[in-house]
Structure 1
Amino acid sequence: MQPVTPHIDSAIAAIAPGFRALSISVDAAPILHPEVAEQAQQRACSALLAGEPAWADVHLAAWAEVFRRFGAKPQRTPCSAEALRKRALRDGSLPSIDPLVDLYNAVSVQFAIPVGGENLAAYAGTPRLMVADGSETFDTMKDGAPAHESPDAGEVIWRDDLGVTCRRWNWRQGVRTRLDAEAQRMWFILESLPEMPLEALHAAGDQLVAGLLAMMPGARTETVLVGTVAR
C-alpha cells in the first residue's frame, strides 16, 4: 500500500505556525464489528463530560484564531471538532451516521481534534492544503439537491486535481469524496496545532487505527506525520 502524504502549501505556515497532522491510509476489509463505533462514541462522550483532555479548550481556541486569520468567522463556521463537541454536550450523545464516520467523529470529540475521513478512490491526485484563489469548485448539497459553489479568495481549503474537497480548512466536507462503509481505500487526516501535545496527536491516531482494525479485521493501515514537527 502506498501511504498518502498530503502536500501542505508553504503559505499555511504563516496562518497556522507549528501545524502538524497525521495522515492515515487504509486498505479496507469487510466491516464485521460495527459496534466498535458505538463503543468509541460512548467513551468520547464520557471523556467530554469529565472535562477531558485538559488542553481541549486551549486547542479549540487556537483553531478559532487560525480561522480568523484567513477570514472565517468561527462563531458561525467553527472547526469541525468544536462543532461536534458542542453538539455532544448539548445532546449528551453523538449522531450515528455510518460506522466509519461515527468512529472518526468519536476520536475527534475525545481528543478535541479535527478529523477528516475521505474515500480515497474518489480522489484525483494528491490531497493539498492550500489557500484558495476563489476560482475553485466545491460540490455540496443545497435544499436537498446537488450544487456547486466556490470558496472565498484567501480561504484555506483541502483540494485535489478536480476541486475543493473541504472548505474553510475542516469546516465542511464535499460530497464527491465523502466516506462511507462501502469504500475500499480510505484516507484520514487528524489535524493539530501546538496547543495539543504531540504525544496526544499520536494517541488519537493510534486510537483511530485500533478502532479501524477492530471494526475491519484484516484491514491494512499506514500512518505518516506531516507538518513542521517530527516525532
Structure 2
Amino acid sequence: MIDDIRVDPSVTSLRPDFAVLAMGVYGLRNGPTDDRSRAWLAEAARDAVPAADPRIEAWREAYRAFGAKPQRTRPSVDALVRRMPLPEINLVVDAYNAVSVRHGLPIGGEDLGHYEGPARLVRATGDEPFETTDRGEPSVDHPEIGEVVWRDDHGVTCRRWNWRQCVRTRITEETTDALFLLERLEPMTIGELTAAGEELAGLLRAVSPGARVETRIIGPAGGE
C-alpha cells in the first residue's frame, strides 16, 4: 500500500521542503479511550508546542500559498494545540493526536478498509467528491480549484492538505488496518519526523502488540 503513495509535482513545486512519513499499520486492536490513552493526552498537552512555534507557522504559510486562510481553516496541528484539553476519540486517534501536538506536525489517520486505490497528494480540479456532514446529516462537498488535497480513487480523503478528513475513511473502534501520514515542512528536520514516527509506532504497539508496521518517507529525504 505505502509503496504506491505519491505526491504530485504541483504540490512539491509549491513547497519543495515537503516530506511525508507514510506508516501502514496492520492488525490494530482499537477501542474506546481508556486511562492509558488519557495519560498520553494529558502528558502531550503539558508538552505541546505553542501555537507560535515555527513548525506550525510553516503550515500557515503553506496554506496561504494555495489561497487558504489559516485563521479560518487551520492546519490540523494548529487547531489541536489551541484545543486543550485534547479531545478523547479512541485509542488510535488519541495516540496520533498526542504525538502531533508534542512534535508540532500534522498527522492524519485513515482506515484502509474504506480506501479505494493508493493515497496521493494533489492540487484539486474542484469536482472531486468530499464526504462530510452538515448539521449531523451526510453531505457531499467539493474542494476549491487548486486546493491541496489528499485523495484516493473514490474522492478527497482530506481537504486543505490536513484541515478536515472525510467521513468515509476516518478511524473508528472497528479499524484494523490503517494508514498514518506524518507531514513535515522546514524547519522540522527529517530526523525529527522519523522520531515522531517511532513514537507513534510505539504507542500503537502498546495498543496492539501484534501489529505490523511499515514506513516510507516520500519527499526530499526519501529520494522521490
Q: Would you say same fold, with TM above 0.5?
A: yes
Aligned structure 1 segments of 4 or more residues deviating by more than 6 angstroms: none
Distance 1:162 1:12 in 2: 20
Give 1:209's aligned residue. Answer: 201
Could you list the runs of 5+ residues in structure 1 that have no partner in the other structure?
none
Paired residue secondary structure (1:151): coil
Q: Give the whole-Å Cα distance in 2 for the aligned partners of 1:5 and 1:23.
A: 11
Shift of 1:139: 0.4
Matches within 5 A, 1:17-166: 17-31=16-30, 34-48=34-48, 52=49, 57-88=53-84, 93-166=85-158
Distance 1:19 1:139 in 2: 26
CA contact (8 A) 1:59 1:196 kept: yes
Letter in 2 for 1:43: E
Q: What CA distance in whole angstroms lies between the structure 1 residues aligned with 2:40 and 2:52?
A: 18
Q: Does 1:229 align with 2:217?
A: no
The alignment's C-alpha RMSD in Å is: 1.9
State the alpha-carbon separation in 2 of the partners of residues 5 and 203 from structure 1: 23
Is 1:185 aligned to 2:184, yes or no?
A: no
Partners of 1:141 and 1:217 in 2: CA distance: 34
Preserved CA contact (<8 Å) 1:20 1:191: yes
Partner of 2:211: 219
Instruction: Tell whether the 8 Å contact from 1:140 to 1:148 is kept in structure 2 after alignment.
Output: yes
Could you list the runs of 5+ residues in structure 2 that have no partner in the other structure?
A: none
TM-score, normalised to structure 2, is 0.93
Q: Hey, what's the Cα distance between the residues in 1 that align with 2:36 and 2:23? A: 18
* Displacement after TM superposition at 1:96 (Å): 0.4
Distance 1:122 1:27 in 2: 14
What is the alpha-carbon distance in structure 2 between the residues aligned to residue 99 and residue 114 of structure 1?
18
Q: CA contact under 8 A between 2:30 and 2:174: conserved in structure 1?
A: no
Q: Deviations over 1:11-54 (max 9, x none)?
A: 11121121011100011243489544222212211112xxx48x
Deviations 1:162-209 (A, max 9, x none): 100000010000001111121121100000102112211111100000
Maintained 8 Å contact 1:130/1:156 = yes
Q: Deviations over 1:39-88 (max 9, x none)?
A: 2212211112xxx48x9711111110110010100000110000000112
Between the aligned partners of 2:99 and 2:204, the Cα distance in structure 1 is 11
Structure-2 separation of matches of 1:162 and 1:38: 34
CA distance, structure 1, for counterparts of residue 204 and residue 28 of structure 2? 10
What TM-score, normalized to structure 1?
0.91
Greater CA drift, 3-12 or 205-214: 3-12
